[in-house]
Amino acid sequence: MAGRHAILVSTLALISAGCGGGAASSPTPTTPSSTSSSTVWRGIVIAEEHRCSPYTPEDYSYSQSVEDDIIARLGGIYSPYTAECFGSKALTDIEHMVARSEAHDSGLCAADDGIRSSFGRDLDNLTLASPSVNRYQKGAKDATDWLPTNNRCWFAATIVKVRLKYGLTIDSLEAAALEEVLTNCTSLELERPACASGT
């Protein structure tokens, strides 16, 4: 993995130099670690994960009915991660792209119940995945340890969007992994499989 190591070193050097390449309109993270001296990548504060309060999944609960909204947004019952089409939503899992525990340890441990609840049901961060991918491959992993087979650019861009939206921090390894993906992207749009409506 020498090539990946070289990219990691190069990316972290750019981050340390303040050359994250983020858009000027990106909102400023609002976590306690966001200060003028913080190192920033694409508008997101670089910081180690920190569990400042106990993590409880129920704080980030969502209604199963949100799955219909996810399907409407995707345009079909499929997983963007694998382009796998499903005959029924009963065959899929609702998947948080930024895992709830990851968000908790990246700043929401200090947030109020309303923000945590909003995060849990936010369609910007929800997609569909097969149970085997959601439960046994991705789980609560971040981009350092897991990336989808398909739609990597869309996935990476979504992670950035969601972290900015909630003022979440990001650790340096995940920032490097996402930068490696985004640097090679020609489009950040979701690529839909043939089973999606209208394709």
For 87-144, write each residue's pLDDT tens digit.
999 999 999 999 999 999 999 999 999 999 999 999 999 999 999 999 999 999 999 9
CA distance 28 to 168: 10
With a pLDDT cut of 90, the percent of the chain lying above it is: 78
Predicted model pTM: 0.82
For 25-41, write each residue's pLDDT tens digit.
333 333 433 344 579 99
- b/e burial code for range 15-48 (CB count within 10 A of at least 16 → b): beeeebeeeeeeeebebebbeeeebbbbbbbbbe
